[in-house]
Structure 1
Amino acid sequence: MKTLAIHKLGNNKGAPRVYLEGAQLKRAKFDQGKRFEVNVSVENSMVAIRLADSGSRVVSKKQTGGQEIPVIDINSHQALSIFEGLASVRVIIKDSEIFILPLSTEVKKRRREQSLKQAIESKVVTVGSLSHGGGVLSHAIHEGLAKSGLKSKLAFANDIRPELLDQAFVHNDAWDEDTMYLGLPLQELAYDTYAMARLPEVNIAELGLPCTGASLSGRAKNHLSMAEAHPDVGHLIAPALAVIARANPACIVFENVTQYANTASMHILRWQLRDMGYVVHETVLEGEDFNCIEHRSRLCMVAVTEGVDFDFESLVKPLKVSRQLSEIMEDVPDNDTNWSPMTYLKDKEIRDKAAGKGFAMNIVTEKSAYVGTIGKGYSKRRSTEPMIRNKSNPDLLRLLTIKEHAAVKGIPEKLVIGMGMTIGHELLGQSIVYDPFVEVGRAVGESLKQFSKTPTVNESIIKFQIEPQLDLLAAA
């Protein structure tokens, strides 16, 4: 290959037109006056132009800057109708050969449309998960899709922590025996040629990149000027987009802390997905709106391939009900070691107040209607996260148990069965409030089902895989 460029697919006299001129033609031996032939391969969605002494067409010329330059002007329904509906095409120039093809983004868009329609017809959609953790988001989307009448199959799950993947493999029924276990850093996966070559395309991708650099506490603790300055997770949008491009989903569900909406990474995600043929929708989901005891806010983005009609307004919120922490509390005896006066935190509160700091202990009781956000480091007994006050002895406080922590988020207890305090609270604290994302999964399922009823545009563009076509070019 000497040249690869994108050219506008124009229209002249009511017929599609590709107009080529200049030094790149001359470089490939397409000089003025030479004859060539045009061959159309509908099967491969490709037009091949080859020099041939007996060709029916001739390279013409034009004057530019006092010099003659070669021109090839293809203006024909017969030659270019396979590109119907496209605004631009790829042009690959080799010695004595020129190939006109649809853009890779168009090919992928049409292929994911076709794959989705086939999946909807079979009532089984495939899902890929990045930054999977214990798979709480995966499980919520799995449940939501089921409510829309679609079965989902988790094709692959990636996380940097194999112990969380192990937990999900055993206890998360979004998994099955065929789920690909990818226990390595996302940035390593994206540049692992072996893994990426075997990564399947999926209908839906879901992910929640680490929020350490974007959250208020994370930025303050790490003294970051921006989320992307975090040395471990600030760059993860780049490998995430690389994997998304490979998996080619028709829908992407992304969640994070609300502050992530204003990061450079989120801007990159929005505009890159747009250029890949997606329409991006965003909202903030509130646990309170879905009767979750934990009033947790999460940014949610749903990006759908062009043509899919999705709207967050279609989410159905439940009737408001009054709740109390007592509904989900376990019976923890007064002599249990989890109870503590936590004197050091009470002393810290007094010092902070005297110093004019806004940090105060977050103490709740069995009658509390809600609790605030519980984060990944909850087991460290941080003063600003909820502590339950003992009913019999008000001086004693304790953390929520793992079971209680799951319950205030609405997360099924089975997802954290057998987990210790530290890792269990980490899994839950970096997760979502469950019910809002179940509803997102249902709404996504309904939108995808509706899209499957629309006619396919120009099926010739989706009759091939990109790789075999490029192999064909290499052999040409």
Structure 2
Amino acid sequence: MATLIEKKIGEHRGVSRVYIEGLRLAREGFQPGMTYQRIIKAEEGKIVLRLIDSGDYVVSKKNIRDTELPVLDIRTEELTKIAGNSGRVRILIANKCIVILRHFNDEKIADRMLRMLNEVEQGKLSVASLFHGGGVASGGIHCGLKIAGISSKLAMAVEIEDAYIESSLRNNPDLWDENSVVINAGVEGVRYHQSGIPRVSLLESGIPCTGAASAGKAKLGLTFAEDHPTAGAAFFYTLQAIDFMNPCLIVIENVKNYAKTASASIIRSVLGNLGYSMQEILLKGEDFGALENRERWIMLATTIGLEEFIKLDDIYKFRSAPPAKIQEILESDVDNSRWKEYTYLREKEARDIAAGKGFRMQILNEESTSCPTLTRGYSRVRSTDPILSKNDGSDLLRLFTPAEHARLKTIPESVLDGLSETIAHQIAGQSVVYNWFVAIGRLIGDGLQSYQSTQSKQSAA
């Protein structure tokens, strides 16, 4: 038999204390009047109580309704050291022995903080990327960390689309090294204990937004974001990865509606229980040099203790102004064959207006000072997607090129090199404003450098 108890340590007359009573003790052999020895193994983070004849300590008793029950009242300052910041311990009772252990969350916190400090000292941070896409967000974080003086490499990336992961491997060579684990599969198919997945210091996850985005919910008639057949459970697999990989920092991004979903509430609750402090913010593209009117919800989860060094609101010190006009991001040598009348789009708009529908074309020109969001399906030429008019008084229109799409989101054009137009627009369209993640990387890098410096000074003192 065995009994496992989780307890918050208390205090009695200024001394740390753990109090246990009842059948939980009796069923494992601890009876009133029996004696035991106490062995403190501070370096291992545990206290061992073992029943022996003529031990230094006695199992006390308590009478409840004419029943005599055993009591253990353990008082020692070593409990404070074992319990750590959480103040919790785990107590295993079996085979006439009790072991008081540091809580597993405290073990995980200590492990990830030590890993992070070692990697910052070595100048190379390990990163994991879920729903990697073409590596835009990962590339931005890598760039920002580098500006802050910290190199980084992908320890692992998960992406289900062949073309996207191939593109990232080819076009983001700085992200990868010979030890990077590539998982070309859905996150639900990853078996972390069987796949040689490493622990990391930073995890980035662009959880699919199709269940939370207004258009996606309306199209499928979803009541809840979690009802989406493929994206609904994505948060669960993200939490599963976090629990195993035990990162020190976590960056999650999604559409702004995601912040109000049950998924986001569960993420907050689970990460809080795992010892993280959460910060959240809504970022706009125009604040970080993008002409595209994209907004995104960002959650930054830092291991408790780091939040004082990495404040998400400080991201605004890395603001940059976007180009003044659309003209400034246009390619100069676009093939004339791209210009078309798109009569069917204008006819559809007329039908929608006549039917009282709200669908309208979004026609821009060179003088436009911003651009609505270009999405993953942009290459399909849909009636409400942003489209550019020719600056000659004609009715000719064209889609933005992949290079222009990248510029609208501040994405380096090299990220889309060698791709078909369809795949290029998919990668850019489902991605993020690159400069957001450069700023996040810089913010994290500066904070980690400051934390590492503070720890070094304290150790020296």
* Deviations, residues 231-282 of structure 1 (Å, cap 9, x unaligned): 1110111111011111111111111111111111011111211111111111
Q: Deviations over 1:68-94 (max 9, x none)?
A: 111111112357644454411011121
Match of 2:247 in 1: 249
Q: Tell me, what secondary structure is at the counterpart of 1:232? A: coil
User: What residue is the counterpart of 2:96 in the other structure?
Assistant: 96
Structure 1 unaligned blocks of 5 or more: 460-476
- Which one is further off, 254-263 or 59-68? 59-68
**Cα distance in 1, alignment partners of residues 85 and 270 from structure 2:** 22
Identify the residue that residue 436 of structure 2 maps to in structure 1: 436
Looking at structure 1, the residues matched to 258 and 80 of structure 2 have their Cα atoms a distance apart, in angstroms, of 44
Shift of 1:419: 0.9
Give 1:309-324 correspondences, 5 Å limit: 309=308, 310-315=310-315, 316-318=317-319, 320=321, 322-324=323-325
- TM-align CA RMSD: 1.9
Structure 1 residues 312, 192: CA separation in 2 closer, same or farther (over 3 Å shift)? closer
1:276 pairs, out of 267, 274, 277, with: 274
> CA shift at 1:319, angstroms?
5.2
1:320, distance to aligned residue in structure 2 (A): 3.6
User: Quick one: structure 1 residues 442 and 20, their matched pair in 2 at CA, closer, same or farther if it must change by over 3 Å?
Assistant: same
What is the alpha-carbon distance in structure 2 between the residues aligned to residue 91 and residue 249 of structure 1?
A: 26
Question: Does the residue aligned with 2:44 lie in a helix, a strand or coil?
Answer: coil
Q: Distance in 2 between matches of 1:160 and 1:3?
A: 43
**Partner secondary structure for residue 40 of structure 2:** strand
C-alpha distance in 2 between matches for 1:381 and 1:321: 26
Q: Distance in 1 between matches of 2:455 and 2:37?
A: 34
Question: For residue 69 of structure 2, what is the aligned residue in structure 1?
Answer: 69
**2:132 partner amino acid:** H
Q: Quick check: 2:294–2:372 contact (8 Å CA) kept in 1?
A: yes
Deviation track 1:25-45 (CA, whole Å, cap 9, x = no partner) reads 111111122222222222321
Partners of 2:289 and 2:410 within 8 A in 1: no
Is 1:293 the counterpart of 2:291? The answer is: yes
Scaled by the length of structure 2, what TM-score is found? 0.94
- 2:131 is equivalent to residue 145 of structure 1: no
The Cα offsets for residues 194-221 of structure 1, whole Å up to 9 and x where unpaired, read as: 02xx221111111111101011111111
Which residue identity lines up with residue 184 of structure 2 in the other structure?
G
1:218 aligns with 2:216: yes
Name the aligned partner's letter for residue 327 of structure 1: E
Once the two structures are TM-superposed, the CA of residue 109 in structure 1 deviates from its matched residue by 1.1
Aligned twin of 1:15: 15
Shift of 1:450: 1.8
Shift of 1:98: 1.4
Aligned to 1:162: 162
Q: Does 1:327 align with 2:328?
A: yes
Q: How much does 1:313 deviate? A: 2.7
Residues matched between the structures, number: 453
Does the aligned pair in 1 maintain the 2:42–2:78 contact within 8 Å? no
Structure 2 regions of 5+ residues with no counterpart?
none
CA distance in 2, matches of 1:324, 1:290: 15
What SS class does the counterpart of residue 43 from structure 2 fall into? Answer: coil
What is the match of residue 39 of structure 1? Answer: 39
> Which residue of structure 2 aligns with residue 182 of structure 1?
183
State the match for 1:261 in structure 2. 259
Distance in 1 (CA, whole Å) between partners of 2:76 and 2:198 is: 38
Deviations 1:397-433 (CA, angstroms, capped at 9, x unpaired):
2211111111111101111111112221111111001
User: Structure 1 residues 387-396 or 225-234, which shifts more?
Assistant: 387-396
Counterpart contact for 1:168–1:175, Cα < 8 Å: no
Aligned partner of residue 369 in structure 2, secondary structure: coil
SS in structure 1 at match of 2:167: helix
Moved more, 5-14 or 326-335: 326-335
Q: Which residue pairs with 1:231 in the alignment?
A: 229
For 1:168 and 1:381, locate their aligned partners in 2 and report how far apart those are by CA, in whole Å.
25
One-letter code aligned to 1:274: G
Q: Distance in 2 between matches of 1:335 and 1:441?
A: 40
Mapped to 1, the partners of 2:141 and 2:248 lie a distance apart of 15
1:452 partner SS? helix
Q: Structure with the greater relative contact order (CA < 8 A, sep ≥ 6): 1 or 2?
A: 1
Deviations 1:287-329 (A, max 9, x none): 1112211121111111111111222331214454552222222
In structure 1, how many angstroms separate the alpha carbons of the residues matched to 2:86 and 2:292?
A: 48
Task: Summarize the Cα distance change of 1:404–1:84 in structure 2 as closer, same or farther, 3 Å threshold.
Answer: closer
Q: Which amino acid aligns with 2:330?
A: M
The answer as to whether partners of 2:206 and 2:252 remain within 8 angstroms in 1 is yes
In structure 1, what is the equivalent of residue 304 of structure 2?
306
> 1:9 touches 1:86 (CA, 8 Å); kept in 2?
no
Q: 1:78 to 1:127 in 2, by over 3 A?
A: closer
Q: Distance in 2 between matches of 1:25 and 1:44?
A: 24
Spell out, residue by residue over 1:81-140, the C-alpha distance to the aligned partner (whole angstroms, 9 max, x if none). 444544110111212121111111111112212222222222221111111111100000
Counterpart in the other structure of 1:445: 445
